Amino acid sequence: MTRSVESDAGFEEGRAQLSLGTAAARNLSTTTKSVPQMQGISSRWLLRVLPWVQVSGGTYRVNRRLTYTVGDGRITFSNTGSEVRVIPPELGELPILRGFTDTAVLETLADRFTQHEYSAGDVIVEAGQSADRVYLIAHGKLNKLGTGKYDDLTVLGVLADGEHFGDETLTGPASTWAYSIKALTRTTVLSLTREAFQEISARSETLRGHLDALAAAPAPARNKQGEAAIEVASGHTGEPTLPTTFADYELKPREYELSVAQTVLQVHTRVADLYNEPMDQIEQQLRLTIEALRERQENELVNNPEFGLLHNADLKQRIHTRSGPPTPDDLDELLATVWKDPSVILAHPRAIAAFGRECNKRGIYPQAIDFGGHSVPAWRGVPMLPCNKIPVTGTRTSSILALRTGEERQGVIGLHQTGIPDEYQPSLSVRFMGISEKAIISYLVTAYYSAAVLVPDALGILEDVEVGN
């Protein structure tokens, strides 16, 4: 007679089983299950810290004071997402256009500039090549290289944001470049060809007259931020004549339309009918789909070229590290860009770890603070929150963002619209689309969102942060 054994249930070989084994018992047991897990769910701190503003009309317009400074020697640019444009009156910084005030012609000239992007090490112009255009440096740092006293290659100068070169090529006889220009960092430049300039000049009597006699015009009074100054009298007695003033506005304010993320969720009726216990299959499918939409939403708020924070920081608000890794000195410089009232610092987890290593080298230990019930690291009292949507490049560099948030503080805000049809969560709807001939239920899941930077100094970026050392 042969006795059965269950070695996999813990019984020794050759020993008789005296009780029911667990493998067989499980056939009569109801297992305890978890809801479906999803590794792609992150903390999504950006969605939590942004104050969300209701946009009833689907579009949010940011009205600002008119800001530019003619006469400071540097050219100012505006950027809409990743698209950069020179402010037309700023073309008066070019020697050949100094004092020229024909707005229509300046607008035409500004529209004819084309944008170029260069990486560190790229040669923008090379000595000896035909010089046929002017370059305006919107962002970045460049070396001006030429022949030295002993015929060796020498750095003649360093050019950076707001500077220009080649304006002399627009007028006069054709020539070649007497120097080379090489990018030291990632660089954005705008260029206008000699041909385009002469075409506009041929059509404009005022520009032709100006080129014949360069007349200077006094610059209007402005405050330290470059806004048109508001004249105010103070400390007076008696009845003096008070100054008159007005606050000028941007003529073409930026408008943010709500963006959309959508997907169609499909569930077979057989699954919804027969396998709905102990968990609602449609509910779980919706939960996971919405988590994916919210992850995409945060990614777009960081990386979208139209409204993403990485692309909408003002060019003057972008700084670089001193040595590569993010040091305490670099974080201090970053906070100085939003010094009025910084709310949070956002960084990739690897960038936060790199900052921690730099602090350890100096014997500095950033304090932890309570933020929304979580213990998070902080620098100068400003919480540092992880955001894995901030990209890390193949060369292991990333960016760190500092934000001031809130509409009342002229900061960074999120935009959405609540009260939409079939709303499931704020500004997110789940709309039943019907059942197909294959018995598949379809739901349209839609999220509407955007973000706006109300004033330039609400957002600062520390760029090219090394996280791999």
Q: Is residue 421 in a domain?
A: yes
- Percent of the chain, pLDDT > 90? 42
Task: Compute the mean pLDDT over every residue in the chain, rounded to the nearest whole number.
Answer: 84
| Domain limits for position 271 | 46-54+255-466
For the ranges 148-152, 273-277, 342-346, the lowest mean pLDDT is seen at 148-152
- 110, 206: one domain: yes
Q: How many domains does one find in the chain?
A: 2
Cβ proximity of 342 and 411 under 8 Å: no
- 201, 276: one domain: no
Residues 319-376 have pLDDT tens digits of: 888 788 899 999 999 999 998 889 999 999 999 999 999 999 999 888 899 988 889 9
- 50, 98: one domain: no
Residues 434-452 have pLDDT tens digits of: 999 999 999 999 999 999 9
- 179, 289: one domain: no
The pLDDT of residue 412 is 94
**Residue 300 above 50 pLDDT?**
yes
Residue 98 tokens read as 């100094």
Range 292-319 average pLDDT:
91
- 81, 186: one domain: yes
Q: Is residue 241 in a domain?
A: no
Question: What pTM does this model have?
Answer: 0.69
- 50, 86: one domain: no
CA distance 232 to 465: 44
CA distance 348 to 468: 12
- 272, 355: one domain: yes
**Who wins on pLDDT, 357 or 82?**
357
Q: Is residue 203 in a domain?
A: yes
- 275, 414: one domain: yes
The CATH number of residue 171's host domain is 2.60.120.10
- 439, 365: one domain: yes
- 273, 352: one domain: yes
- 260, 205: one domain: no
Could you tell me the pLDDT band of residue 2, with boundaries at 50, 70 and 90?
very low
Could you tell me the pLDDT band of residue 95, with boundaries at 50, 70 and 90?
confident
Cβ proximity of 347 and 401 under 8 Å: yes
